[in-house]
Amino acid sequence: MKKIFFFIFLLFNIANAQIGFVEYYNPVYKFLERMSSRHLIDDYNSFVIPKTRTEIAGHLSSLIPKRNNLNEIDNEIFSDLLVEFQYDITGSTKYLESKITDFQFSNLISDREKYLYSYTDTNDVSIFMNLEGSIENIFYKNNELGKSYNSFLGVMGGSIRASFLNKIGFYIRATNGIVKGDKEAARFKDQLNRNYKFNEFQTDQATYFDETEGYLLADFDYVKFSIGRNRNILGYGIEKSILSNSAPMMDQLGLQINYKFLSFTWMHAKILGPQNAYSDSTFGTIRTITDKYFVTHRLAFDLGRHLSFGFGENIIYADRSVDFSYLNPFNFYKTVEHENKDRDNSQIFFDAVNNSIKGLKLYTEIIIDDIDFSKLGTGWYGNQALINLAAYSTQLNDIIPIDFKMQYLRIDPYFYSHRLAKNNFTNDDVPLGSSIEPNSESFIFEINYRPYYRLDLSLNFRYTNHGANELNEEGTILVNHGGDILFGHRSFDSINAGLLEGVKEVKRVFSFEGVYEPINNYFVRLNVKYINNDLQNNIRVNDLFTSVYLFVKI
């Protein structure tokens, strides 16, 4: 009965949310996408993540009068989300707990939203602090070598988010971790595979790593400005084609404009280009890294369930200071690149979503890296494009809490790459978008099942065909077929490059993930992944990876 009165209270007491972004991994995004596909919320688009707490609170609020249309599992998930975002929806802290001001041991196992410290007042000031920690065991088995590797990870950290005058907010998060055991196993985590602190040591002894993020956000309802370091995801489908969650975090400037059916997004980010290192007898190792920047902007229109679409551009430029041409969010970057003497790497993209059928969303993206219409159909290497087709079905949700995802990706030879290595679409040699190499096509299938409102099970299978470059025994390229993001077309390479030409390689990946939240803010995750690769020179790779992860936030 208490919950019923609480929901009625929510319905008639919508307040201003705290100013800030909701982390990209928060389960609320999966929930809102499901509700959108079921025609229960309007104006939700998953192309750009993260979204602000104001946006999330608005979508959750609009769902309150329609909650009778939710199945039993989604109703319970919705109840948890209303507790988590209670302050953002109502301005109330009734169902929040602060460990410093009202600590009791029983609170550690309560289902209220937990904070190490929280403060709110009538002057529109709010501060929330969290302490977090995780432990993880990673096991990796290489069947070809007959070897197994094991590592143990421990991470501690904390975060603080604050909001002032319902317009300005900031967020800071920092963590420190330690790895004991085999580095080969720990490197299966993207976070560690690209972490400088972790990889600078050559020994297999205990190794430390750290990570930080933070930003300042000014939210003026329809217009939002941000500056800071955080993770953005851009694109549709399981495998994102513009910015994925496996790309390294970036320092960036951001602008968002949202008004009814129109939205505009712009981001200018600092990333890392090619690096060199040499030894000096006096100063030791000296590293030089090319300055490099990623810029994107997108104009989108939401015309209702039948059609939402957007147009945008991506730019990579390097080896110079910040270019004011790209600091202007409203320039046409392809033309600007030409006027800047064609020194950069540009893409133009189009995306669209259809949700005419309740429970079924259809997505498409077409990204053009370069095109010469006079050479269409000739096999010319310069006509480079990516085609992304995806579908998301929740049509069985009223019978059983299950949904299905399907995706097809076609990536032309030399896509993402560039004749100048500094201009490829990577950050520190890690792809910004899809992890699938150029000159590939991939089929991805995923099933998500929720047998309990705090238990999420996911089964994923992906099959990828890849036209690889021909290599010698030392790994040097003999024939370039445009199959490596780090090697663009060279002056002596063939001017023709057909899809999947080259050495055929096949990759099959089976993965299972189960996430259980026994107590609010306490998560247990099991991940199992089997990778089967048929590579050139009759090389076969069979890897088994498992991870058990426990995360606690108070």
Q: What is the DSSP string of 249-318?
A: PEEEEEEEEEETTEEEEEEEEEEEEEEEEEEETTTEEEEEEEEEEEEEEEEEEE--TT-EEEEEEEEEEE
d(CA 25, CA 83): 18
Q: What is the pLDDT of residues 143-174, one digit of tens each?
A: 777 789 999 999 999 999 999 988 999 999 99
Q: What's the pLDDT score for residue 50?
A: 95
Q: What is the pLDDT of residues 16-56, one digit of tens each?
A: 678 999 999 999 999 999 999 999 999 999 999 999 999 99
Q: What's the pLDDT score for residue 347?
A: 95
Q: What's the pLDDT score for residue 517?
A: 94
Q: What is the pLDDT of residues 454-482, one digit of tens each?
A: 999 999 999 999 999 998 877 789 999 99
Average pLDDT over residues 327-336: 94
Q: How far is CA 361 from CA 311, 312, 339, 406, in A?
A: 19, 21, 40, 11
Q: Sign of dihedral through CA atoms 88, 91, 95, 101?
A: positive
Average pLDDT over residues 84-88: 91
Band (15; pLDDT cuts 50, 70, 90) = low
d(CA 547, CA 526): 6
Average pLDDT over residues 297-316: 95
Contact 10, 81 (CB under 8 A): no
3-state SS class at 246: coil
pTM for this structure? 0.91
d(CA 325, CA 341): 13
Would you give the DSSP letter of residue 346?
E
Q: What's the pLDDT score for residue 294?
A: 97
Q: What's the pLDDT score for residue 4?
A: 46
Q: Does the structure show a pLDDT above 60 at 60?
A: yes
Q: How far is CA 166 from CA 54, 98, 122, 220, 226, in A?
A: 10, 22, 11, 9, 15
Q: Does the structure show a pLDDT above 50 at 2?
A: no
Place of tokens 């580095």: 183
| CA dihedral of 77, 79, 81, 82, whole degrees rounded to 10 | 160
Instruction: Write down the mean pLDDT value for the chain.
Output: 89
Q: Does the structure show a pLDDT above 50 at 1?
A: no
Residue 263 has φ and ψ, to the nearest 5°, of -145, 150
Contact 138, 128 (CB under 8 A): no
